[in-house]
Amino acid sequence: FQPMDISLPGDTILADTPFHFGPAVFEMVTCPRLLDAVECLIGGELTSNPIQHVRIKPPTTTLRGDEIRAHVTATDWHQDRAVAHAESDATQMVTVWLAITDATVENGCLQAIPGKPRMYPHCPKKQTAIADGFLNEADAVPLPVKAGGAVIFHPLTPHASLVNRTEGFRWSFDIRYNVTGQPTGRSHFPDFIARSRRAPHTELKDWRQWRELWVEARARLAQKPHIPIHRWQADSPACA
């Protein structure tokens, strides 16, 4: 999985840890129509946030019993704000979930619980997930979307994915944008200016420069102690 991801992993990073930052993905992240939609929500000074992933989910029947990675199997209930460092809790940010294949109830589309935004405590379970007892999963709304479509949501929206019960793969990307100058929530990973109405000359236009930012980050982080990407501890009261 890691060689296809558009991020470095949250655990150990080595000098040769693989990733994928090619021209097609860069064109997706900087797609004008996509940036137009995000601009309607948080304005025209947009930074491409480094918390981003590809999710290629095979049929659940083909997975090993010990497979728990959210990029591969069903994703547990969580909030995107909660998987960033606390420094970004006030950052204006949106998540864009892009369907590469049709996402259906049968193959594991997103589901979300509507309501007033608030941060829930999370626990390091099999995945980092909202603590037990805080959500009523009966309120969940499935969000099927056709290939090429997108779901755009607030970082405090509780969401998860359903299980892929089909015989095909479900493929998606989730990317994030925040207002330029505000903390990204993962400052040890590189960001870039995707759009600037005030200073268009600051926008990154070359995918090679984007990739080089990650190459440099990998080399730097491989020489340093591991930086945890999650803030939640198993001994917190909500996780007891």
Residue 123: CA atoms inside 13 Å, Cβ hemisphere, count? 14
3-class DSSP state of 58: coil
* The pLDDT of residue 65: 83
Instruction: Output the CA angle 35-38-40, nearest 5 degrees.
Output: 110
* The pLDDT of residue 56: 92
Using 70 as the pLDDT threshold, list the residues of the chain that sit under it: none
DSSP-assigned beta bridge partners for residue 123: 129
Instruction: Tell which phi-psi region holds residue 133, choosing left (phi > 0), alpha (psi between -120 and 50) or beta.
Output: left
Q: What is the pTM of this model?
A: 0.95
Interstrand relation of 122-124 and 45-57 (parallel, antiparallel or unpaired): unpaired
Give the Cα separation of 29 and 96 in Å (integer). Answer: 10
Cβ(189)–Cβ(7) under 8 Å? Answer: yes
Cβ(113)–Cβ(159) under 8 Å? Answer: yes
* The pLDDT of residue 45: 99
Sign of the torsion angle spanned by Cα atoms 200, 201, 203, 208? positive
Q: Which domains, and CATH codes, for the chain?
A: 2-239 (2.60.120.620)
* Pick from 155, 196, 240, 181: nearest CA to 30: 196
Q: What is the pLDDT of residues 87-125, one digit of tens each?
A: 999 999 999 999 999 999 999 999 999 999 999 999 999
